[in-house]
């Protein structure tokens, strides 16, 4: 269900989000538990903290794991959301507020 996209304004196309919205509506009953996965450079603690803060007040279960060489940190976020629109809203927020993040 997750497609690897680099979160930049260039890749935040309406077409991608329209397809994602349709897929989410078709495959899940809402509200639903959704799993976000991101990768950020480990050297950029400020962006890692910002990413976590975007989901912090939603009752999300957040786990992080550094890569074997410690260069990157993967972030898994399990959170129950009310609709596909909120899922997409969070992806867009991450893309707008955080540089050098990859979504899986």
Domain that holds residue 87: 5-103
| Tens digit of each residue's pLDDT (9 = 90 or more) over 17-28 | 999 999 999 999
**Sheet-wide strand order for 5-6:** 5-6, 102-103, 32-41, 72-81, 61-66
Q: Quick one: 66 exposed, middle or buried, by C-beta within 10 A (0-12, 13-18, 19+)? A: exposed
Report percent pLDDT > 70 for the chain. Answer: 88
* pLDDT band at 101; cut points 50, 70, 90: very high
The model's pTM is 0.83
**CATH of residue 24:** 3.30.70.260
Q: Are strands 102-103 and 32-41 parallel, antiparallel or unpaired?
A: antiparallel
| Tens digit of each residue's pLDDT (9 = 90 or more) over 68-92 | 999 999 999 999 999 999 999 999 9
How many structural domains comprise the chain?
Answer: 1
């Amino acid at each position: 269900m997750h497609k690897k996209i680099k979160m930049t304004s260039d890749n935040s196309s309406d077409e991608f989000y329209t397809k994602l919205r349709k897929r989410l509506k078709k495959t899940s009953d809402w509200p639903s538990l959704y799993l976000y996965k991101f990768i950020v450079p480990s050297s950029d603690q400020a962006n890692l903290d910002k990413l976590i803060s975007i989901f912090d007040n939603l009752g999300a279960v957040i786990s992080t794991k550094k890569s074997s060489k410690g260069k990157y940190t993967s972030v898994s976020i399990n959170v129950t959301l009310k609709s596909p629109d909120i899922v997409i809203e969070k992806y867009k927020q991450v893309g707008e507020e955080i540089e050098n993040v990859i979504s899986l």
